[in-house]
Chains A and B, each alone.
Chain A
């Protein structure tokens, strides 16, 4: 299985500041034939199911605020929240869909400082 490792496990950021979450995969999830990274980010607010934020490592889902952005390629990826809002308090997960079984990171808990 591809192991997804997120860092940090938890993060406290002041309102209006930038938050950065990292995810590293144990092998590349970049498919060379189409140059796409088979990688997604999710947000899980307390008591809610996960919500898809970003696919293909950097493509925001419809309705996701543009303060969320994804970057990276191969084995190293980053989710950035440019100006933290109170409603962004959540656990964030990465997921690879390059190879079955699809696997997730352990999650990063984002709180307000």
Chain B
């Protein structure tokens, strides 16, 4: 059973870059899509972007200018960098496997990232 676990700082200062890692266990990262999503407290889900095992990326156009994703299949990890954060970026950030770029069938537990000085 594929398992995912997010890691990274829980507090980021405004205008700085948020960096998160997702470690995948229980399965191969090959030939799969890996996504980041976020959920502000009490609100809905927003897809940030995906990265294929080959390194090809697709980002949400509304966030594209601030997002960079990378992958290291040798370490079973993929990464998110999100620049120039503001308080509006405070949310629980999830990593997930996106089946065939369709639905999200495996999720991490999520990590709360707060943006505050």
Contact = CB atoms under 8 A, between A and B. Distances in A.
Contacts of A49: 94, 96, 107-110
Interface string A83-97: 000000000010101
Contacts of B45: 50, 93, 95, 104
A53 B67 CA distance: 29
A100 B58 contact: yes
The interface residues of chain A, by DSSP majority, are classed as loop
Contacts of A102: 47
A110 interface: no
Interface residues of B, number: 20
A19 interface: no
A101 to B, nearest CB: 4
Contacts of A107: 43-44
B62 interface: yes
A55 interface: yes
Contacts of B87: none
Contact of B102 (A97, A101, A104): A97
Interface string B92-110: 0010100001111101111
Interface in A47-86: 48-52, 55, 61
B44 A93 contact: yes
B61 interface: yes
A55 B102 contact: yes
A56 B11 CA distance: 38
A13 B62 CA distance: 37
B110 A40 contact: no
Interface of A: 1, 38, 40, 42, 48-52, 55, 61, 93, 95, 97, 100-107
14 contacts: A1-B62, A48-B109, A49-B96, A49-B109, A50-B45, A50-B104, A93-B45, A95-B103, A100-B101, A101-B47, A102-B47, A103-B47, A104-B45, A107-B44
